[in-house]
Structure 1
């Protein structure tokens, strides 16, 4: 266990080692690699911490160098890490750019330490003391015990009056849509706040044709959550928050690495939610955080701090 701050955000899931080929081209010809960490939930925890709020991440890592690195990185980011060391290996992601901006990500995580998370890993009070519990649709796909842990955490949060945030985060490489959909629907129905991409919203709604983004937000809201944010990459986002609709364009930036942009967006929104900011400000910060993330290689390296956001606001004012 690392850190001692009382958490405002609690999240749980799998964090992995991230191997990234530096050169563009077939992976077999790559000779230079960087090594970092990745994982949707730990990315969000880091993003929220960088924006000035206490954050806790719960998960399992192996008794290996990658597990050591993950715990140290979280500690260095001022994230309170409730880490269980497991005899299994710490999972890995391998990322390379085949051509242009086309990224490919392979997972090596079946049977990993992170996939063996269980409800026993959630200490008494760790959920109940939070302001927001954030979970994703990735963790239930990892194993039966991981799925059970997510729903147990959500149940405890709801019983304790804690806001439940869900990022649908469907990963086709982890489970087929027909298996994922009923699980994701159950998760969304218990959420207060839901983030989804356009394709993910269509999956939830079993929509063959893509409806307008504002209609998607209304339809997902009808499933239960009173805050729904639909992320539409470079086209911006739409939201329905307590019955009020919002639209916001994406910021025009050069995309270096799109992986992790959705997590940055979520972190920005949650950080402003914790700060008591109105929905429009939450979305503005979320959009800015996503823009920072895509401009830097890596899963979490580009997550902004408050000073970065202030610099961007000043730049936008000048541009106008």
Structure 2
């Protein structure tokens, strides 16, 4: 046992009284080394990091972040703005983001917009007041006020879950339009004659509308001369129950549809289960496709044909780009298209 460890055995640390010097004494390193491990754990050797972390655990040390942030002019936080906290796909992206940022010593603070551009302004303004070191945004369409606030902040920003030629700063995502155009191409190859787009869209849900645009483009390309048919209902909740509601409405408006292309797996799953209750054979009488490759898409019977997008990887790649910028490194690219994959299962 080292001398610092012997002294520790004779001294009981209270959370409020433990200092960085105490941690350094127990670990047998300097206070500057403790500070460096706390500030940039990946920049220290594994042996040093393990000694300091063990000393922190044993002393119950709690870092005074307010003081360290004032001294360094860094908050060691990244603000993430997402449409909904409850949505599993955005939670997966946040998980990927947080996994990488935590390793680099950063915490994530979250704000949600509920698909409202006006609320996004308020959320961004509020989060900027907490002085985050960077921003992560779901979506690429924002008000001028949001763009101006982020430009004035002069901090790294990554947008995601969509694609644009002119991002605010950096971009990690995929094209919703191209994904739905690919779904229409698949429908044409499989011999479906009357594919119909079905969705629920809040007024600020730009990604659902981008998918509708992609469906329209795909219809012009693969079904020339046939007018695109769509049913998009605003202000329906994103629930499986809404999928059942949309199924009924789509069949009433377009009774000869042989394939329904839903804007999300949640809606498509609700519609597929409703078909089973109504005795509609899927895909023989009516085929169904979704978007997102949610976990339920793989568990349904028949399984849901869908567009898979890299939810977790988007968060991970965004975090790596932000960390590089925060370390004054230059990312290999400012825009990264992660693409999508059409997953064929039994529903279409």
Structure ranking higher in strand proportion: 1
TM-score by length of 1: 0.33
TM-score by length of 2: 0.30
Larger Rg belongs to: 2
Structure ranking higher in helix proportion: 2
